[in-house]
């Protein structure tokens, strides 16, 4: 079971620390204070995860069981790599038998069992390269992609929603039957058209907000479970072709 983070100093660092007023802007100081006092940050350090985001995936999995049995996983927007760490572990991926492909336009330090592509997911070559990297059909497509912030909230929101939409279409193109898709979205942000497309292709589509996702953040996750497969659609196309 994913334990809630322990407020305290298991990492040897006390919570409630303040950063001295100095040359830092007030907003930067507040960010640093929140970061060093965040129990999830401390627990990530303690458990060897590269980011506190690990606990978002673990908490979602604890309730919705999307990792169990996954043999191949694609991780979109993967840096610094905590979701890929988890993916490599659950798939028992090794450098000799790669079962996890990760993409990010930021550089990401190597991880055993993970093929890392430093590339924009919106690059037309990305889907093919990801599928080549993984060498088989994925049962899980994860996307924690968040567009770089411009300072203009509406623009940032729209860009991240666009990434979510492109990721969803990619998932429907590549997932094996019974597979799952999890992607970052925003409260009230998922377009009806995208939801309808997912509902047509998956048995269950829900929004989830894990405890590790900061309460003040509008971040949510869109979870589409049990991909129905492409058979019906393909058969329809074939039947249409013959008509
Ligand atoms: C919240 S972080 C991911 C954290 C990651 N899940 C982890 O556990 O370490 C979001 C990432 O999405 C990446 N990203 C945003 N847009 C992208 C794009 N178009 N292509 C690839 N990566 C992208 C960012 O560079 C950033 O590293």
* Residue 230 domain boundaries: 51-242
Task: Give domain status of residue 11, yes or no.
Answer: no
pTM: 0.86
Find all residues with CB under 8 Å of 40, minimum gap 6, and list them: 5, 52, 55, 212
Annotated catalytic residue, options 3, 45, 63, 184? 184
Tally of domains within the chain: 2
184 is catalytic: yes
Task: Give domain status of residue 198, yes or no.
Answer: yes
Mark whether 70 and 144 lie in a shared domain. yes
Mark whether 125 and 35 lie in a shared domain. no
Mark whether 205 and 117 lie in a shared domain. yes
pLDDT score of 234 = 55
How far, in Å, from the CA of 172 to the mean position of ligand 1?
20
CA 78 – CA 51 distance, rounded (Å): 10
Find all residues with CB under 8 Å of 224, minimum gap 6, and list them: 168, 171, 180, 181, 182, 198, 201, 202, 204, 205
For ligand 1, atom 10, the nearest C-alpha belongs to: 145
Mark whether 105 and 225 lie in a shared domain. yes
Q: What percent of the chain has pLDDT over 90?
A: 67
Nearest ligand 1 atom, CA 184: 1
pLDDT score of 13 = 54
Checking if the pLDDT of 178 tops 60, the result is yes
Question: Is the N-terminal amide bond of 80 cis, ω within 30° of 0?
Answer: yes
Checking if the pLDDT of 4 tops 50, the result is no
Task: Give domain status of residue 4, yes or no.
Answer: no
Tell me: the pLDDT tens digits for 24-42?
A: 777 777 767 776 778 899 9
Where does 9-60 show beta strands of DSSP type E? Answer: none
pLDDT score of 217 = 85
144 lines ligand 1 (CB under 6 A): yes
59 lines ligand 1 (CB under 6 A): no
Task: Give domain status of residue 166, yes or no.
Answer: yes
122 lines ligand 1 (CB under 6 A): yes
Calculate mean pLDDT across residues 51-66. 97
């Amino acid at each position: 079971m994913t334990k809630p983070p322990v407020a305290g100093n298991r990492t040897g660092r006390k919570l409630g620390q303040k950063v001295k007023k100095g040359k830092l802007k007030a907003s930067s100081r507040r960010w640093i204070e929140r970061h060093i006092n965040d129990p999830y940050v401390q627990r990530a350090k303690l458990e060897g995860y590269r980011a506190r985001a690990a606990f978002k995936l673990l908490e979602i999995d604890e309730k919705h069981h999307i990792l169990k049995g996954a043999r191949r996983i694609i991780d979109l927007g993967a840096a610094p790599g905590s979701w890929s760490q988890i993916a490599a572990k659950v798939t028992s991926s090794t450098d000799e038998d790669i079962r996890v492909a990760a993409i990010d336009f930021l550089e990401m330090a190597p991880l055993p069992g993970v093929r890392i592509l430093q590339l924009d997911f919106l690059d037309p070559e990305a889907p093919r390269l990801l599928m080549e990297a993984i060498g088989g059909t994925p049962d899980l497509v994860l996307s924690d992609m968040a567009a770089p912030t411009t300072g203009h909230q509406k623009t940032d929101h729209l860009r991240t929603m666009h990434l979510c939409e492109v990721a969803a279409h990619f998932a429907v193109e590549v997932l094996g039957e019974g597979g799952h898709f999890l992607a970052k979205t925003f409260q009230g942000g998922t377009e009806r058209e995208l939801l309808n497309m997912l509902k047509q292709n998956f048995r269950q589509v829900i929004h989830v907000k894990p405890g590790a996702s900061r309460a003040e953040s509008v971040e949510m996750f869109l979870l589409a479970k049990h991909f129905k497969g492409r058979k019906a659609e393909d058969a329809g196309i074939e039947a249409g072709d013959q008509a």
